[in-house]
């Protein structure tokens, strides 16, 4: 993937993949810029100053915001952040963060995207190659790293075979390595990353970046299949903001359309519209539906199954099906581990979107999917969902601190676990 070509594609993205007839041709009014580093509570409402000095009332729900803040505090992470978005209005309900070093993860975009980048890669594979959800893939290993041997069908070892539609939910790195090496080009991957918003600003009330995708090679030295595979899996070359992470699954929830997200409710003469605005078609409706079903696997049988299942073996969300993606990356054996979650529920008719990012110390208490699960519980319990309870409705024991073993920590130093 050539950097020069990647940059040249940026101005063309809006032209080639711009607003389609079902993406909302009439643009709604834009809110004034607000300083989200200066949010405070005034008369029970969350407010922030605008660029003109006027206080803007935000869309945040006070009780939900406070409970989310409590969940983040209980995670005891080095830094943590959570976003909850009402999909029906594209308004932010929760915008919470905590940090032991004044690092605000809501306002940065330098955390490695990890396995969340597989959403982009999956879309590219489904739309630009012969790969289908039923495509059978056999792999051996690859849980903690990818080498050249993972680029081809295994001839020995413990071989695991399964359809591609399971690969995203179980985060099968070797499956993505094989498919990328055989079917995806660097230019196609760059194009889809840009369609999803990488290297661009988000459509949001505040100027925030989505995240970045950098070239794994130069024009003089093309990317090797292994370098491209590691990029496609999320091992290297890409970063995300938390709002950018939510955009990946928000696009899926909206059947392939990119949304404009709002956090300003009122400011001077401005009032946020109740009707959400979509600004471009990113992927086809068919691809979005396939991705949605693949992301359901994450919650109900894949990397989130344990977190979303109560001690009695039932889903914490009971009959409500959810869809989502996790990602984990250790920056060093004795440093923080980035723990991601982005997803939505109900998966068929989405109402709410949840994104969580934790930078956990070597001794950690919770993962992002556990915090996300409890945010879903709060949302649906407050709306009377059958048999769904809020984690604040009773004393719920939180997990004891965990510490990665030296062996696992060393393996995670340069590789993803999912």
DSSP string for 182-194: HH--HHHHHHHHH
Interval 32-36 mean pLDDT = 92
Segment 129-147 mean pLDDT: 89
Domain annotation covers residue 9: yes
The alpha helices in 206-333, defined as continuous H runs, are 225-233, 242-253, 285-300
Which range is least confidently modeled, 11-25, 270-284, 343-357?
A: 11-25
Q: For residue 85, what is the DSSP state?
A: E
Residue 286 falls inside a structural domain: yes
Considering only 1-10, 115-124, 302-311, which range has the smallest mean pLDDT?
1-10
In the structure, what pLDDT confidence band is assigned to residue 336 with cuts at 50, 70 and 90?
confident
Q: What is the pLDDT of residue 333?
A: 61
The fraction of the chain above a pLDDT of 90, given in percent, is 71
Say which range, 93-102, 276-285, 317-326, 347-356, has the weakest mean pLDDT: 93-102
Q: Decide the pairing of beta strands 264-267 and 277-281.
A: unpaired
In a domain, 350, yes or no: yes
User: For residue 243, what are the domain limits?
Assistant: 3-412
pLDDT band at 316; cut points 50, 70, 90: very high
Burial class of residue 5 in the structure, from the number of CB atoms within 10 Å of its CB (0-12 exposed, 13-18 middle, 19+ buried): middle
Task: Note the pLDDT of residue 395.
Answer: 43
- 411: phi > 0 → left, psi -120 to 50 → alpha, else beta; which? alpha
User: Is 333 within a domain?
Assistant: yes
- For residues 220-237, average pLDDT: 88
pLDDT at residue 383, as a whole number: 94
pLDDT at 359 over 70: yes
Taking residues 159-169, what's their average pLDDT? 93
pLDDT over threshold 50, residue 100: yes
Q: What is the model's pLDDT at position 76? A: 92
Looking at residues 217-225, what average pLDDT do you find?
72
Range of lowest pLDDT (13-22, 143-152, 217-226): 13-22
More confident residue, 232 or 17: 232
The better pLDDT of the pair 43, 24 is held by 43
pLDDT recorded at residue 73: 95
- How far apart CA 199 and CA 191 sit, in angstroms, is 11
* Mean of pLDDT over the chain: 86
Tokens of 405: 């073993």
Tally of structural domains, the chain: 1
51 domain residue, yes or no: yes
CATH code, domain with 240: 3.40.710.10
For 333, which DSSP code? T
| CA separation, residue 41 to residues 7, 269, 389 (Å) | 41, 21, 27
Q: How confident is the model at residue 407 (pLDDT cuts 50, 70, 90)?
A: very low
pLDDT above 70: percentage of residues in the chain = 85
pLDDT score for 27: 60
Q: Looking at 34-43, 134-143, 188-197, 219-228, which range is the least confident one?
A: 219-228
Predicted local confidence at residue 362, as pLDDT: 77
Residue 417 lies in a domain: no
Rounded CA-CA distance 211/189 in Å is 15
Among 10-14, 43-47, 360-364, the minimum mean pLDDT is found in 10-14
How high is the pLDDT of residue 6? 34
Taking Cα atoms as reference points, which of 253, 247, 224 lies closest to residue 237?
224
Least confident of 207-216, 355-364, 388-397: 388-397
Reference 210, options 186, 184, 244, 165; nearest CA is 244
**pLDDT at position 146:** 83
Q: Which two tokens stand for residue 45?
A: 């409402």
- Give one word for 90, left, alpha or beta, with left for phi > 0 and alpha for psi -120 to 50: left
């Amino acid at each position: 993937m050539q950097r020069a070509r990647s940059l040249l594609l940026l101005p063309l993205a809006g032209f080639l993949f711009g607003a389609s007839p079902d993406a909302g041709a009439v643009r709604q009014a834009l809110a004034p810029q607000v300083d989200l580093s200066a949010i405070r509570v005034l008369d029970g409402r969350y407010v922030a100053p605008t660029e003109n000095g006027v206080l803007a009332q935000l869309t945040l729900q006070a009780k939900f915001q406070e409970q989310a803040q409590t969940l983040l505090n209980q995670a005891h992470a080095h830094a943590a952040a959570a976003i909850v978005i009402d999909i029906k209005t594209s308004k932010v309900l929760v915008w919470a963060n905590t940090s032991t070093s004044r690092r605000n993860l809501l306002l940065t975009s330098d955390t490695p995207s990890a396995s969340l980048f597989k959403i982009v890669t999956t879309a590219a594979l489904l739309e630009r190659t012969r790969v289908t959800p039923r495509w059978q893939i056999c792999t051996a290993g690859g849980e903690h790293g990818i080498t050249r041997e993972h680029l081809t069908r295994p001839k020995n070892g413990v071989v695991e075979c399964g359809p591609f539609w399971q690969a995203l939910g179980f985060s099968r790195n070797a499956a993505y390595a094989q498919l990328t090496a055989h079917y995806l080009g660097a230019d196609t991957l760059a194009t889809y990353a840009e369609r999803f918003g990488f290297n661009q600003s988000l459509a949001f009330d505040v100027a925030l970046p989505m995240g970045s995708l950098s070239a794994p090679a130069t024009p003089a030295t093309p990317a090797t299949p292994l370098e491209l595979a590691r990029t496609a899996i999320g091992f290297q070359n890409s970063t995300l903001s938390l709002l950018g992470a939510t955009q990946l699954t928000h696009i899926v929830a909206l059947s392939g359309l990119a949304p404009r997200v709002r956090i300003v409710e009122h400011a001077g003469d401005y009032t946020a519209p109740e009707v959400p605005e979509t600004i471009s078609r990113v992927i086809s409706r068919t691809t979005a539906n396939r991705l949605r079903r693949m992301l359901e696997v994450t919650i109900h049988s894949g990397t989130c199954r344990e977190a979303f299942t109560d001690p009695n073996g039932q889903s914490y969300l009971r009959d409500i099906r959810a869809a989502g993606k996790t990602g984990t990356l250790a920056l060093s054996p004795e440093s923080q581990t980035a723990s991601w979650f982005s997803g939505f529920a109900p998966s068929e008719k989405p109402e709410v979107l949840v994104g969580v990012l934790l930078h956990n110390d070597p001794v950690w208490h919770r993962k992002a999917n556990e915090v996300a699960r409890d945010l879903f519980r709060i949302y649906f319990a407050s709306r009377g969902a059958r048999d769904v309870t809020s984690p604040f409705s009773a004393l719920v024991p939180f997990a004891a601190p965990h510490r990665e073993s030296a062996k696992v920590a060393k393996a995670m130093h340069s590789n993803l676990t999912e």
